[in-house]
Amino acid sequence: MNKLLQLVFVGTITLLLTSKPAFADNVSKIQQYLSGTMSLNARFTQEVISKNNKTQTSNGQLSLLRPGKFRWTYEKPYPQEIISDGKQVWLYDADLAQVTIKPVSKALEASPAAILAGDNKLETNFNIKNLPSRAGLDWIELIPKQNDSSFARIRIGFSDSNLNLLELDDHFGQTTKIQLKQIIRNQAIDSKQFNFIPPNGSDIIRE
């Protein structure tokens, strides 16, 4: 998964969780979960499946704090961090000793995340529908109304009122799946962890 799509993906999921959605009544369980999430800590496993069925797996830790703050730490196979303080985003590649800094609006440009950041109304920017239960999960699907979105569709799966699995299909036949586990909701989080100081000697790129 290239770094731009990875950044868009992280921002999309983060803003889904930190937005105040307005779903239809028949998906009120998901509405209540998302709107009631003020903070979240979790482990994650991410799979990127190409149209040729090749899979790239990574895992790590995420933290979210409403509004708009997040820290996604990819531990394996390549250490990376994506951090937002709600105003700007840092993408730190430890192997390259490189930090890319972007305003939130520019970092998430032309993505569902950018739309969500604008007005926090999912129904304004997505067609939302229920999907049949699958693998023991309840599902909804978000289809962007704008053709220039980075993703063609987003599926959100729940089990026992907990967010479990998210799937994003891009326009190149690639699917990204992210499974959350060891979830802790609404625990106090120190907002200082969403600030980032580039390590000494890092190559700084501002966009």
Q: What residue segments make up the domains of the chain, in order of their start? A: 3-206
Q: Which position has the token pair 């990376």?
A: 80
| pLDDT digit string, tens, across residues 169-184 | 988 899 989 898 999 9
3 state SS of 110: coil
203 CB burial (10 A radius; 0-12, 13-18, 19+): exposed
Other Cβ atoms closer than 10 A to 46: 20
pLDDT tens readout for residues 27-58: 667 667 777 778 889 899 999 999 899 999 99
pTM for this structure? Answer: 0.78
Banded pLDDT at 144 (limits 50, 70, 90): confident
Calculate the alpha carbon distances from 138 to 49, 60, 123, 157, 204 in Å.
22, 25, 19, 5, 43
User: What is the residue type of 122?
Assistant: L
Most confident range, picked from 97-111, 145-159, 186-200: 186-200
The 8-class DSSP code of residue 84 comes to E
pLDDT at 1 over 50: yes
pLDDT tens by residue, 81-119: 988 888 898 989 999 999 999 888 766 544 434 333 333
Distance CA 42, CA 188 (A): 14
Backbone dihedral region for residue 97 (phi beyond 0: left; psi -120 to 50: alpha; all else: beta): left
> Which class is 3-206 in CATH?
mainly beta
**In sequence order, which residues have a C-beta less than 8 Å from that of residue 27 and are 6 or more positions away?**
128, 130, 140
